Structure 1
């Protein structure tokens, strides 16, 4: 099981099915270009692990490098997804370890992510990987 950093359009295409499964709000016709635009900003990374048959991404993670007054330099995990056949096999944990290694290598002292209230299996993984509940996240939709 190897983590691969997406750098090309072909890499993002390989991940497209997983991205659209996790983020159905994205337009399938423009999703790849959107992800490439984010990757080219040099502050956003997409990392994936191919499924067992190497036909698509079995799991992926996206994250950004931010520098905030509250935290200083940090990594924010936007997305972490595994297809059902890849769950409970270490894919998500391996991707989280990859991000921890990136943070360590860049001298970044914290990683942050948000998770839905009902995602107890994910919460167990995060807690087992050393994450803790730091705050509540509030949002406001603007019409």
Structure 2
């Protein structure tokens, strides 16, 4: 399995666009780089993995940020995690989660957190296998 890499420049961020747009199809390709750059100002970071058979093809990514909350202290919050359908079940997403958890432990953080759509049962199985537990419901009110 290829190692986890960090997207640090425009080229690596754009290399992640296929898998980002798979997860977030409502986004526009032409505005994606600008939106990520704005999010980076809020400590958003992207890590990714390329295909075993093609090191130029990004097949999984995670977007995360460091946060501090009254209820949980200092944490890493995973905003985004996805793997292209043809590459699911190969351990790519688990490798990204392991990488982020190791980073949080190294930094002495209290937890890693994420939200997941209520009907994404395959993702929920992965999170449970990785030691995550359901600790809250996330509520949204469109305005």
Asked whether the two chains share a fold, i.e. TM above 0.5, the reply is yes
Question: Which position in structure 1 is the counterpart of 2:117?
Answer: 116
Uncovered stretches (5+) of structure 1, i.e. residues with no partner = none
Q: Work out the CA distance in 2 between the residues paired with 1:13 and 1:102.
A: 24
Query: Is 1:21–2:59 an aligned residue pair?
Result: no
Question: Which position in structure 1 is the counterpart of 2:81?
Answer: 80
Q: What CA deviation, in whole Å up to 9, does each residue of 1:29-54 have, x standing for no partner?
A: 11012213323x26211000012312
Question: Which position in structure 2 is the counterpart of 1:69?
Answer: 70
Query: How high is the TM-score relative to the length of structure 1?
Result: 0.93
Query: How high is the TM-score relative to the length of structure 2?
Result: 0.93
Question: Which position in structure 1 is the counterpart of 2:106?
Answer: 105
Question: Which position in structure 2 is the counterpart of 1:47?
Answer: 47
Q: Work out the CA distance in 2 between the residues paired with 1:34 and 1:67.
A: 23
Q: Work out the CA distance in 1 between the residues paired with 2:97 and 2:81.
A: 9
Uncovered stretches (5+) of structure 2, i.e. residues with no partner = none
Number of corresponding residues = 141
RMSD of aligned Cα (Å): 1.2
